[in-house]
Structures are given as structure tokens and as C-alpha cells.
Structure 1
């Protein structure tokens, strides 16, 4: 069987250092992209299951500590709920500080927003890799 002069094998055999390095770079960017895509897909599936559990199990409990216990440890909703509890305890225990200027509701709201931002940040890890590869891969390939 005759090898095509336009195939990948011919490209690799006849290519110089620049061609081989560009090919290796494109393969590495592809592997990194697929890694991020697959890990994010699994993470989103876990978060969807956690959201479903939070929607049903958490609100069916009789107390907040019991509700947090039903969420488990590796649950982003448990982190947010725990942040709310911690902020309430902090506000009650530290009287005479600047945060006393805020109502308990405002203090807890700020703490919950910060916890939600942290969980959202965890969800967005790896997106910079996809953005960088997506924006540079066409130009590297054309080079």
C-alpha cells in the first residue's frame, strides 16, 4: 500500500523542527482542551446532583444543622449554607466591631454572596485554558 504524500505520516517524516513543534503544540493544546472539557462536564454533573439533593433533602429537615448534614461535605451548597451559619455566629459573637453597623440580614447576605462567588470561581477554573486555546489554535495551525 502506498503512503499518501499528504498524510500525517508524510508530514512528520518530511517536516523540519518548526513543523514538528507546531504539530506537538497543537496536540498538546487539544489534550489540554479535552481534559478541561471532560473534568468540567463531570463537575457540572456532580453539581447538578448536589442541587437536586439540596432542593429536596435540605428543605425537608427540621433544623439548619441537620439540613447542612444532609448535604454532605463535598457539596457546594453545604459550603454556602455553612458560610451563612458562620456569619450569623460571627455577628453575634463579635459585638462592638464595625460590622455591628450592619444588620444581621445585611451581614449574612454579604457573607452568602461571598461564598457564592467562591463556589462560582471554582466552577470557572480551566476556562482560561479553553479561551486561550480557542483563540490561538487557528493561528498556530495556519502558521
Structure 2
């Protein structure tokens, strides 16, 4: 009977939680919470947009190896690339630099001129791919401290109220202090995905930069040698032979 009554008795509601911590913390707690939410949203936005951008460049690199170097000349190869391709940008800048070299009044080696032009084009692409990573690094390094700031303010307010009420029991202290630690947990929850996303995207950017650099070196050799030097590629697959048409049979 006693066990039945104990089970049927309503459980006391937990007076501590996130919303209670925000209400107790006041404007500062709400400000910290909104900042952390904004950082989290920005982290996942940059992660997904950069993944799409990186994958696009990776797919463009596969197309370059499959079609560009099989073209008869560099302009024909450029026409086969996508309009907004990163590799097309490098090729077009190389063609433009080659044409402008003949207009120079001071003697400049073609290799040095083309190397500088292609290097600037490659650096611009790498800079674009690296956009947003500074935000991830900032979030990963500062969000724990922002959450800790919210915790400090929460503990300060809790201790002030406990002191004013004259209560010093363990339940009066542990509850508000534990509630204030929610902000620190939120700061860590925001920081960990940001750090993981930064390292993951940085590693992919490094791989893409190596592929772009290899293509730039091959393109430079091609331009300086007037097409005599270019990487060896497998021949294009032959088209399947047409099946012979059977002669109609006479009735």
C-alpha cells in the first residue's frame, strides 16, 4: 500500500534548467545564449557551404584530367571546362598572360612572367576556398570562454541571492551553482563542432591546393614549351562499334 501511494504521488518538478538559468542570469545570460546560438548556426552554415564548394572543385579536377589534356590546343581545352571552373580561371589567366607578354616593353623572361601570373591566379582560388575558416577558428577558441563568462555571472547572481536570503544549506547552494554551469556546457558544445569542422575543411583545402599546384606546374610547362611538354594521359575510350544490321529475309 505504501509503495502504491509512493508511486502514485506526483514527482516534484525540477526547479533548475536552461530557461531558469536564463531567467536568473538576466540580460547578460540571454546575451551569452544568443551569441552562442549565432556562433553555432554560423559554424554549420560555413561547414556545409564549404563542403559543397570544395566538392565542386574536386569534381572539376577530375574533369580536367579526363578532357583538358586531350584537347588539340589550350584554347580548345579551355572551352571544354566549366564556365566558372577554378581550373578554367587558371587556364584563361595563363592564356592572357602569354598574350600580354608579347606587349611588354622591358625584357622579361616568359617563364617568370607566366609563373607570376599563374601563381596569383592559384593564390586567389586558395584564398576563396579558405574563406570562413577564420570564423571557425574564432568560434572554437572563444566560445568556451563566452560560456564560462555566463557561468561566472550566474554563480555571482546565485550567491548574491543566497546571501541576501540568509540560506547556506547545500541544497540552496548546489542548485543555483549547478544551474549556472549550463552556460559552460553550451560553450563547449559550440566549440567542439567548430574545431572539428575547421580541421576537416583545412585538410581538404590542403589536398585541393596540392592538386591546383600540380595543374599549374603542368600548365606552365605547356605554355613555356608552346605545347611540346604536357602530362601524359590515357587515350579517350573508343566508341563502341555499331552492330551490323541484319539483311531482311525474303518471304
Shared fold, TM over 0.5: yes
**1:124 equivalent in alignment to 2:130:** yes
Contact 1:4 1:10 in 2 (8 A): no
Structure 2 SS opposite 1:125: coil
- Give distance in 2, aligned partners of 1:82 and 1:13: 59
CA-to-aligned-CA distance 1:113-133 (integer Å, 9 cap, x gap): 111001111111111111111
- Give distance in 2, aligned partners of 1:117 and 1:66: 25
2:147 paired residue number = 141
CA-to-aligned-CA distance 1:22-45 (integer Å, 9 cap, x gap): 000000011111111111111111
Contact 1:58 1:70 in 2 (8 A): yes
Q: Quote how far apart the aligned CAs of 1:10 are.
A: 2.5
- Give distance in 2, aligned partners of 1:46 and 1:113: 21
Equivalent of residue 17 in structure 2, options 7, 10, 20: 7
Q: TM-score, normalising length from structure 2?
A: 0.52
Q: Quote how far apart the aligned CAs of 1:103 are.
A: 1.2
1:86 paired residue number = 96
Greater per-residue helix proportion: 1
2:35 paired residue number = 25
Q: Quote how far apart the aligned CAs of 1:55 are.
A: 1.4
1:103 paired residue number = 109
Give the structure with higher Rg (CA).
2
Structure 1: segments with no counterpart, 5+ residues: none
1:105–1:73 Cα change, 3 Å: same
1:85–1:59 Cα change, 3 Å: same
1:77 paired residue number = 87
**1:41 equivalent in alignment to 2:47:** no
Q: Quote how far apart the aligned CAs of 1:3 are.
A: 5.2
Q: What RMSD in Å do the two structures reach over aligned CA positions?
A: 1.6
Moved over 3 A (4+): 1-6, 12-15
1:2–1:63 Cα change, 3 Å: farther
Q: Quote how far apart the aligned CAs of 1:8 are.
A: 2.2
Q: Quote how far apart the aligned CAs of 1:72 are.
A: 1.5
* Count of residue pairs the alignment pairs up: 139
1:2–1:84 Cα change, 3 Å: farther
Structure 2: segments with no counterpart, 5+ residues: 1-10, 150-251
